[in-house]
Amino acid sequence: MNRSLFIRNCRPYDLVATERTVDILVTEGAISKIGRFEVGNRRCQVFDAGDRLIIPGLIDIHVHGAGGGDTSHGSIEALQKVSTTLARKGITSFLATTITRPEIENRHLRIAGELVGQDLGGANLIGLHLEGPFISSQRRGGIPLTGIEQPSRDTLDFLIEITQGTVRMMTIAPEVDGASDIIPDLVKQGIVASLGHSDADYNETQQGIAAGISHVTHLFNAMRPIHHREPGPVPAILEAPNVTVQLISDGIHLHEKMVRYIYEQFGGGRCVCISDGMLSMGLPDGIYSYYGQEFKTEGGAARYSDGTLIGTTCSLYELMHRFMGFVGCSLPEALDTVTKNPARVLNIDNRKGTIEVGRDADLVVLDDDYTVWATIVNGRIVYKG
């Protein structure tokens, strides 16, 4: 059955200065026409944007949970909560991020893998991001020791099998024994090898990049810092122009001046804003539980009782706005860090990340105060404020 959506009177974000409105025709989930036109007798749903701004749907490549649901819960209901909550926040695609959980035989990985590409009622689950298990115990942050293993091909093969080949990204510490053999295997499997939760020094980082690391998990967080006598991983990452970096631009995980420093040093094209969002995203501040351990959310940050920072409750859309304020860039430049850039990292920029004919109709309509007014995923309206 032909499924069409006619979006009338919207202002593409990159044409703001002209105040020009256009119409967008969506056919079978993809943008088929952009301009000023009428659909005639074509049978389709008409959606009037009321001269509002329209932007590409946001892509969060590092989010654990939202709306009370978390990937680690291992249930359809949990991922539905994540999907619908993210859609309300303008996110149209996400990587379900989690760790390995041998105590439950990694059932959550099997369930998440089965749900990739399925209709969850909101944002598209486009794959998994495994934060580990081949990471440094010294830089594990909020990841329990049970979620850490020695790198091995047998373990990697098991993870790929149980997730039905849906792993799109793996955070790995290149200095851990055996990691140098695993990184090329990740690349061969089409999995983004991302440096993170790592105590790698400058040389070990260079070696990891040479082996195939092309991305960095939450830059500066859970890694060795810069020191004038021991440069650590960041200068080595900076010197590798093809390596992109994740930022949690909340002003908490990274000071706002560090966000600006990263933007100035790396350039906007290498920056990918992420949420590292917790199950408490979209919920009031309070006490919640993560892997059986209580944490408190306050002011957008989630911390264990010992003060360990484990994530954020800010949505990616909010973090994009904070990024824009911290670095002083334009809206289109800030949007690139949550649309074009993550799409390029995942090699799906031929389908997502921009508003163009032939691209997936993942779109967000903004109200006059720049809040999310409507979210469209694959040509279907999944949220209307």
Asked if the structure places residue 363 within a domain, the reply is yes
Asked if the structure places residue 122 within a domain, the reply is yes
**Of 18, 5, 10, which Cα lies nearest the Cα of 51?**
10
- Give the pLDDT band (50/70/90) at residue 45: very high
Residues β-bridged to residue 178: none
Among residues 23, 60, 70, 276, the one annotated as catalytic is: 276
**Of 8, 41, 50, 13, which Cα lies nearest the Cα of 25?**
8
Whether 51 is catalytic is no
If you average pLDDT over residues 377-385, what whole number do you get? 96
Distance CA 126, CA 124 (A): 6
Other beta carbons within 10 angstroms of residue 192's beta carbon come to 23
- Give the pLDDT band (50/70/90) at residue 1: very low
- 173 in Cβ contact with 134 (< 8 Å): yes
* Terminal Cα distance for the chain, rounded: 28
Distance CA 131, CA 110 (A): 16
pLDDT at 68 over 50: yes
- 53 in Cβ contact with 13 (< 8 Å): yes
Q: List CB contacts of 209: < 8 A, sequence separation 6 or more.
A: 195, 236, 237, 240, 243
Question: Are 32 and 89 part of one and the same domain?
Answer: no
Question: Are 371 and 318 part of one and the same domain?
Answer: no
Question: Are 209 and 335 part of one and the same domain?
Answer: yes
Q: Three-state secondary structure along 217-239?
A: CCCCCCECCCCCCCCCHHHHHHC
Question: Are 9 and 116 part of one and the same domain?
Answer: no
What is the CATH classification number for the domain harbouring 365? 2.30.40.10
> How deeply is 307 buried, as exposed, middle or buried, from its count of CB atoms within 10 A (0-12, 13-18, 19+)?
exposed
Question: Are 176 and 274 part of one and the same domain?
Answer: yes
- Give the pLDDT band (50/70/90) at residue 20: confident
Question: Are 189 and 336 part of one and the same domain?
Answer: yes
In the numeric block, the tokens 């999310």 are attached to 372
Q: Provide the CA 100 distance to its chain's centre, in angstroms.
A: 19
Per-residue pLDDT at 297: 93
> How deeply is 325 buried, as exposed, middle or buried, from its count of CB atoms within 10 A (0-12, 13-18, 19+)?
middle
pLDDT tens across 160-214, in order? Answer: 999 999 999 999 999 999 999 999 999 999 999 999 999 999 999 999 999 999 9
pLDDT at 284 over 50: yes
Q: Interior CA angle at 191 toward 101 and 272, to 5°?
A: 95
pLDDT tens across 133-150, in order? Answer: 999 999 998 899 999 999
- Give the pLDDT band (50/70/90) at residue 152: very high
What is the CATH classification number for the domain harbouring 297? 3.20.20.140
Domain that holds residue 89: 58-345
Domain count, the chain: 2
Q: Provide the CA 374 distance to its chain's centre, in angstroms.
A: 20
Instruction: Return the amino acid letter for 94.
Output: F
- Give the pLDDT band (50/70/90) at residue 18: low
Q: How many CA atoms lie within 13 Å of 241's alpha carbon, on the beta-carbon side?
A: 0
Question: Are 42 and 136 part of one and the same domain?
Answer: no
Asked if the structure places residue 350 within a domain, the reply is no
Question: Are 205 and 316 part of one and the same domain?
Answer: yes
- Give the pLDDT band (50/70/90) at residue 17: low
Question: Are 19 and 117 part of one and the same domain?
Answer: no
Question: Are 51 and 189 part of one and the same domain?
Answer: no
Asked if the structure places residue 144 within a domain, the reply is yes
pLDDT tens across 31-40, in order? Answer: 999 998 888 7
Question: Are 151 and 278 part of one and the same domain?
Answer: yes
Asked if the structure places residue 199 within a domain, the reply is yes
Per-residue pLDDT at 281: 95
Asked if the structure places residue 107 within a domain, the reply is yes
Per-residue pLDDT at 299: 87
Per-residue pLDDT at 86: 98
Distance CA 315, CA 333 (A): 18
Q: Is 167 helix (H, G, I), strand (E, B) or coil?
A: strand
Question: Are 12 and 66 part of one and the same domain?
Answer: no
Per-residue pLDDT at 19: 59
Mean pLDDT, the chain, whole residue set: 95
Distance CA 46, CA 52 (A): 15
